[in-house]
């Protein structure tokens, strides 16, 4: 179920040993690079970061997309480019917006103050995807 890592002490390796043969094919195991929890509003901001030469694998993409459809979760996939820019993707719609670090900070600040709305940053269809039942 887990993605084995070179370091035997890695969480993936430790959990693989403990959880071996539990679950089913098509399930996914991953960690998140950053999670912020707003205790006042019970919301979560999840960020997955990759370098320019890295990409999400299929399991990561599915996991992040499914989590993004949960009402209290905001999930961003970020690629940190060598130019200093950030490829920013809100996983509800998976549209790429290339932004500066200052713009990224503004979006994080908007999330914290409760004013973050995806439609303020990118042109989207009339209706966002909904959580599958």
The verdict on 52 and 23 lying in the same domain is no
The verdict on 1 and 25 lying in the same domain is yes
pLDDT for residue 89: 95
The bridge status of strand 73-80 relative to strand 43-50 is parallel
Q: What is the CA radius of gyration of the chain?
A: 16
Name the residue among 114, 64, 53, 121 with its Cα closest to residue 91: 64
- Alpha carbon distance 87, 66 (integer Å): 20
- 84: which 2 tokens? 């200093």
The verdict on 74 and 102 lying in the same domain is yes
Q: Is residue 61 in a domain?
A: yes
**What's the domain range around 45?**
32-116
pLDDT for residue 4: 52
pLDDT for residue 95: 87
pLDDT for residue 88: 95
pLDDT for residue 43: 97
The verdict on 3 and 63 lying in the same domain is no
pLDDT for residue 1: 41
- Looking at the structure of the chain, the number of domains it has is 2
- Alpha carbon distance 131, 105 (integer Å): 28
Q: Is residue 15 in a domain?
A: yes
pLDDT, tens digit only, all 133 positions of the chain: 445 556 677 777 777 778 777 877 666 667 889 999 999 999 999 999 999 889 898 889 999 999 999 999 999 999 999 999 999 999 999 888 999 999 999 999 999 999 999 888 876 555 545 555 4
The verdict on 36 and 19 lying in the same domain is no
Q: Is residue 123 in a domain?
A: no
The verdict on 77 and 94 lying in the same domain is yes
pLDDT for residue 19: 79
């Amino acid at each position: 179920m887990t993605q084995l890592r070179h370091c035997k002490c890695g969480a993936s390796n430790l959990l693989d040993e403990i959880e071996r043969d539990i679950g089913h094919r098509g399930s996914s195991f991953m960690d998140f690079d950053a999670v912020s929890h707003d205790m006042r509003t019970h919301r979560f901001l999840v960020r997955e970061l990759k370098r320019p030469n890295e990409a999400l694998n299929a399991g990561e993409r599915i996991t992040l997309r499914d989590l993004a459809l949960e009402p209290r979760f905001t999930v961003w996939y970020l690629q940190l480019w060598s130019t200093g820019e950030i490829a920013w993707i809100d996983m509800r719609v998976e549209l790429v917006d290339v932004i500066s670090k200052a713009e990224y900070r503004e979006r994080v600040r908007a999330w914290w103050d409760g004013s973050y709305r995806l439609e303020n940053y990118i042109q989207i269809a009339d209706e966002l995807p909904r959580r599958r039942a």
